[in-house]
Amino acid sequence: MVHSFMDNIDMQPLVALMSKNSQFVIPTLSVMDSMVGQEKNKQLISDFEKQGINLNSEKAQLSAKLSKVDNAVASKQAKLNVNTFLKAGVLILAGTDAPNPGTAHGISLHGELALLVQSGLSPTQALQAATSNPAKAFKLIDRGFIKVGMKADLLLLNDDPRTNITNTRKIDSVYKNGFLIQKSDKSFANKKITQAIKLADFNTDLNSALMTQWMITTDEMFKGNSSAQLEHVNVPTGGFIHITGKIDQQFSFPWAGIYLPMTKSNNLGLDLSAMISINFKAQGKAGEYKLLLFSTNQPMRPIEIIFTITDTWEDIHLLLEQVPQGLLQSISAIAFVAGSTHEEVDISFDDIWLL
């Protein structure tokens, strides 16, 4: 069950059935508090800002509410209901339903853990709700536990969260797949671009003038089966990139193509609101393709601009005026992709500019 509820009802028939069938519940108390006008994020924001963490891009979202009507009774009942699930042995998972008003990705999970403890979970049980319980629920055999052979996705802390759950906010470092994740330099976030930038000429490599690199992207990250390969082609006049592959027509939103992060962190974007167009040369299998613009201000789905190419090299100019200004102000990545109108991918690109 995703989302618990705030009704004061007899839960015994439900929890007995869920326990019998080994079902789980994700209470999402963070968004429920937002639904009943509760302000629970001031301390959360303060705890992270005291560590020098810049929350300028998250603070407005965390301070928003889905309702202006203060209903503390409903908030309390939601926690009592979670306690009923707990006592019945229903597996509890931690989740926030971010980025709804009152929540933000990442930081809100720390607030959710505190709300679970307020509902009667021990700090250790709350930690399990965010780690081993999701692994059990979704049968993820390579994560959720700290042991040999597991993925080394680790959050290292400066204090023990088993004694106080808010100690999860005292972060020393983060490791992904065993590698240390460097802290993002948010001073670069939303930097306004006002001059033309060469995103690629592919004469010598796949690098952009933004110090980022072009790479393959497919729907595989969402369990699709589209595939793509990238070839850097050198010719006497310079170079270009050639992408080949196949599109998984069984997937609901299939794609394959090339992708460029605009910054070194996908959580940060550049302000492109002063720019006019993205220009490039392309040729390949004739048909419709898409330019995808990923905005941190719309994290659920990229903006799409459709264009066509032919089997001969052509100059293409895609105007950015068709993109809402609010979304252009924080573009984290762009991509050129083939979609459901293709079965096979065979496209080439060169001289990509942001003008």
Residue range 187-354 in CATH 2.60.120.430: yes
How buried is residue 217: exposed, middle or buried, by Cβ count under 10 Å (0-12/13-18/19+)?
buried
pLDDT of residue 189: 56
> What pTM was estimated for this model as a whole?
0.58
Sequence-distant (≥ 6) Cβ neighbours of residue 52 within 8 angstroms? none
Measured CA to CA, the distance from residue 182 to residue 178 in angstroms comes to 13
Measured CA to CA, the distance from residue 354 to residue 205 in angstroms comes to 18
Q: What is the mean pLDDT of residues 60-88?
A: 92
pLDDT band of 183, cuts 50, 70, 90? low
Asked whether the CA dihedral 272, 274, 280, 285 is positive or negative, the reply is positive
Measured CA to CA, the distance from residue 23 to residue 296 in angstroms comes to 34
Q: Is the distance from CB of 72 to CB of 139 less than 8 angstroms?
A: no
Average pLDDT of every residue of the chain = 91
Q: Which comes out higher in pLDDT, residue 263 or 284?
A: 284
Angle, helices 72-87/12-20, rounded to nearest 10 degrees: 40
Q: What is the mean pLDDT of residues 95-110?
A: 92
Delimit the domains of the chain by residue range.
12-180, 187-354
Q: Is the distance from CB of 174 to CB of 181 less than 8 angstroms?
A: yes
Residue tagged 């595989």 (tokens): 220
pLDDT of residue 182: 65
pLDDT of residue 59: 84
